[in-house]
Structure 1
Amino acid sequence: MTTTMQVLKTETPNIKDRIDQFEGSIFLNVGKQIQRISLKSIEYIKGYGDYMKVKCKEKSHTVHITMKNLQKVLPSSDFYRVHKSYIIRLDKIDHLSSSHVQINDTHIPISRNNKQELLSLIPWVK
């Protein structure tokens, strides 16, 4: 008599489901630690090659990840890439001009190609 062993396959939840599971947080490699960062605390992200500076309300974190990979895990309803080196959290915008976004005292450039789409994402009255 032979016995058949069944292997149950469980689908791994995608990153968006896991973010919901951890109440809107992501875990990133910060130095030699894995740091939990609340998405609501992120103001903007600035890219330096394969390193990102994640600027939060209280402090900044330097993370070894590409902009492309980080952009994949951020909810597109809350974050927008305004420039090749910057991703911003939309609800943190204080001012918007023809060439930059201001978040607190930081002026962040907007690429010409992304300005119209950015304007369509924010609630403004013409």
Structure 2
Amino acid sequence: MSAPPVLRCVIVDDNEINRFTLEHFVELTEGLELVASLPDARAALSLMRSAEQPIDVLLLDIEMPHLSGLELVPLLPSPAPDVVLVTSHPNFAVDAFDLRVTDYLVKPVEYPRFLKAVDRVRAHRVSAAPAPTADPTPATFENSELFVKVNNKLVRLDFNEVLFIEAMSTYSILVTETQKHIVYITLKALEERLPFAHFRRVHRSYIVNTRRIDSVHDNMLQLGSYEVPVGKSYAEEFMKQLRGL
């Protein structure tokens, strides 16, 4: 079996000891190449914009002066690296729908957990790679995972498994076949931020994953063991969209 491709890494952390720890972990790990270890997010942005070869992995501290890790992520050039956030705060208030990060490490970082993050990066890069077929149908199952803030904890959730999202006052419930996740964001705000085109608003209280619809009958959608109503004001447009899927 051939060795996995080498991943080019950049470390960004204003704490020298934390940088040294991550540098040591990169050195210990086969298949990782350290391109730079920087104390400042501004320097990292400049490096990534001018790099002749793309950076594959960004090990990024969150709290830094001048430009935080959270502020850096939206500024990253394309193709963007896989971002692994590193922070001292396990309950850091990250708006998960604005950040497409691959993993989230809590300091002090242990080496086994670091290896798990590297494995996730590799898995994500494989899933995001273009399919080696000539099938013209867009394959949009890639990048289906987001971190969702649930009960002050960031939870990795695969949105391919979400059947529908239900509004409840000022929060929303993400429903899968086996679980319900409460997220403290309104359905309207969630609809605006959700980056997946196959999630459609069908009712003032529901957004559904159109890929998980089993059947439609009398303006009721069957999604697994659940039924979701289609609102009158949404029905005509939704049915047109559904027939075109």
TM range, normalised to the smaller chain? 0.7 to 0.9
Partner of 1:56: 176
Q: In structure 2, what is the equivalent of residue 4 of structure 1? A: none
Q: Which one has more relative contact order, counting CA pairs under 8 Å at least 6 apart?
A: 1
Residue 116 in structure 1 maps to residue 236 in structure 2: yes
Q: Equivalent residues in 2 for 1:1-126 (5 A)?
A: 12=74, 18-19=99-100, 22=102, 23-75=143-195, 77-123=197-243
- Give the TM-score taking structure 1 as reference length: 0.77
Residue 117 (structure 1) shift? 1.4
Q: Aligned-residue CA RMSD in angstroms?
A: 2.9
Pick closer, same or farther for the CA change 1:18–1:33 going to 2, 3 Å. closer
Provide closer, same or farther for how the CA distance between residues 16 and 66 of structure 1 changes in structure 2, counting only shifts above 3 A: closer
**Higher helix share goes to which structure?**
2
The unaligned stretches of length 5 or more in structure 2 are 1-45, 47-66, 76-95, 103-142
Q: What secondary structure is seen at the aligned counterpart in 2 of 1:88? A: strand
Structure 1 unmatched ranges of 5 or more:
1-7
Tell me the TM-score normalized by structure 2: 0.42
Q: Which has the higher strand share?
A: 1
Give the number of the structure whose alpha-carbon radius of gyration is greater: 2
CA deviation map 1:1-34 (0-9, x unaligned): xxxxxxx696825x98954x64222222101201
Rounded to whole Å, the distance in 1 between the matches of 2:221 and 2:234 is: 12
Whichever residue aligns with residue 31 of structure 1, its letter is N
Percent of aligned positions that are identical: 23
